[in-house]
């Protein structure tokens, strides 16, 4: 109704997750710029459609992961591309929480929440095909993040925050393979979504991402880390970074005694929400999609990680994402086989986008005795060393 009745330039979308895609696409097609709270969409297919609409319309869109407006991630990405960690291998991140009443039940139920005051069918989106009809329930209305038809628990409410930041830091985007695990082990309050979960995302650049949390323990969270062959970047928890640490691997591995533990200072942003909105406004004023700190193509990649992870958890399957066709398929043995083939061919490792460091921290030493390796055919030693049977 607002699109038809109001003269708008831009909209901010903060509705339940299952409405995000339709409202975002309709708004951009109507000529409006969009700020959409995370998660950008509920499904991967919807996210890809949003990206297509964004490209087609040329409108300015910002996804509401406020931490992407922290300067730390651009600093990290530059250092990774210059090879400070060597070959980038893995990132891990988290979003632990704890509550005496169960996560998301702190959204209070009120008597005023009733079918007389709420257009329940509109909220559900039954006419638009967004959800099936179900009887009105105050708990579903106020605490929808606990229920699969409308949210995806920690996967899309929390994991998407940290995942987006790590994708921005590494330059990675869509995963190649994703598996999710976990369960509902304590919060037996009628919810659908798990209270313990892990997502493992493997990328075609030869990097693995791990996202882990429980909603029932918070004081012993895992650290946020990016790991490479020559060292690691270790971050604090939360979003108020004023710096991070470089932890080198030992010189017996790196062959570089100049690598020392280092504290890397970065500018701190006191109010990331303000900074994120300001960034969106400035991008609109410049009419430049590239100025947004969290554009839809980054938002869609994060959705691919967390949504494929939640679907894997729910369906008990591994999922693959085709980088060329953007199609999702059920997993098979092709993932491990392609890396084994690279090893058999003695290929060089793949790298994160924007890699500028050549072979730095990416090539193994070859011990002299490895010339003795190779299959013996008809009782004869390997061709690369005909004297290998001496001894």
For residue range 233-290, what is the model confidence (pLDDT) as tens digits?
999 877 778 899 999 999 999 999 999 999 999 998 989 999 999 999 999 999 999 9
Query: How many structural domains is the chain composed of?
Result: 2
At residue 21, φ and ψ (nearest 5 deg) are -60, -50
For 370, other C-beta atoms within 10 Å of its C-beta total 11
Separation of alpha carbons 334 and 291, rounded Å? 38
Show the domain range for 112.
Answer: 108-142
Q: Are 219 and 212 in contact (CB under 8 A)?
A: no
195 touches 103 (CB < 8 A): yes
pTM higher than 0.75, yes or no? Answer: yes
For residues 343 and 361, state if they share a domain: yes
**Any idea of the CA torsion for 164, 167, 171, 175, to the nearest 10 degrees?**
-120
Please check whether residues 239 and 136 belong to one and the same domain.
no
The string of pLDDT tens digits covering residues 302-345 is 999 999 999 999 999 999 999 999 999 999 999 999 999 999 99
Torsion angles phi and psi, residue 37, rounded to 5: -60, 155
Tokens of 318: 């591994």
Specify if 290 maps to a domain.
no
Tell which phi-psi region holds residue 87, choosing left (phi > 0), alpha (psi between -120 and 50) or beta: beta
* Pair (116, 255) in one structural domain: no
Q: How far apart are CA 93 and CA 162, in angstroms?
A: 6
176: pLDDT confidence band, cut at 50, 70 and 90? very high
CATH number at residue 314: 3.30.360.10
C-alpha 192: how far from chain center: 22
- 262 and 217 in a common domain: yes
- Same domain for 100 and 117? no
């Amino acid at each position: 109704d607002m699109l038809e009745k109001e003269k708008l330039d831009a909209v901010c979308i903060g509705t339940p997750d299952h409405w995000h895609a339709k409202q975002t696409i309709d708004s951009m097609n109507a000529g409006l710029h969009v700020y959409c709270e995370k998660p950008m969409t509920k499904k991967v297919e919807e996210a890809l459609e949003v990206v297509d609409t964004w490209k087609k319309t040329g409108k300015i869109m910002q996804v509401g992961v406020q931490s992407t407006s922290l300067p730390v991630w651009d600093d990290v990405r530059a250092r990774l591309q210059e090879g400070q960690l060597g070959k980038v291998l893995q990132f891990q991140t988290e979003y632990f929480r704890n509550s005496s009443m169960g996560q998301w039940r702190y959204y209070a139920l009120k008597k005023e929440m009733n079918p007389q005051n709420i257009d329940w069918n509109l909220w559900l989106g039954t006419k638009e095909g967004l959800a099936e009809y179900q009887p009105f329930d105050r708990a579903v209305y106020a605490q929808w993040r606990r229920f699969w038809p409308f949210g995806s628990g920690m996967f899309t409410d929390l994991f998407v925050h940290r995942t987006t930041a790590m994708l921005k830091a590494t330059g990675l985007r869509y995963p190649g393979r994703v598996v999710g695990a976990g369960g509902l082990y304590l919060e037996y309050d009628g919810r659908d979504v798990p209270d313990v979960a892990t997502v493992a995302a493997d990328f075609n650049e030869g990097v693995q991402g791990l996202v882990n949390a429980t909603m029932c323990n918070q004081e012993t969270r895992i650290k946020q880390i990016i790991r490479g062959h020559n060292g690691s970047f270790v971050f604090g928890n939360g979003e108020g970074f004023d710096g991070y640490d470089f932890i080198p691997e030992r010189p017996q591995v790196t062959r570089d005694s100049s690598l020392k533990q280092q504290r890397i200072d970065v500018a701190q942003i006191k109010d990331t929400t303000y900074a994120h909105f300001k960034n969106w406004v400035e991008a609109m004023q410049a009419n430049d999609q590239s100025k947004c700190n969290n554009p839809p193509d980054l938002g869609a990649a994060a959705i691919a990680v967390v949504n494929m992870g939640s679907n894997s958890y729910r369906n008990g399957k591994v999922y693959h994402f085709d980088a060329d066709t953007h199609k999702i398929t059920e997993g098979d043995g092709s993932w491990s086989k392609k890396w084994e083939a690279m090893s058999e061919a003695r290929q060089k490792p793949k790298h994160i986008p924007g890699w500028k460091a050549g072979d730095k921290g990416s090539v193994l030493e070859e011990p002299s005795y490895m010339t003795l390796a190779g299959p013996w055919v008809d009782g004869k030693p390997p061709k690369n060393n005909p004297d290998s049977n001496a001894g």
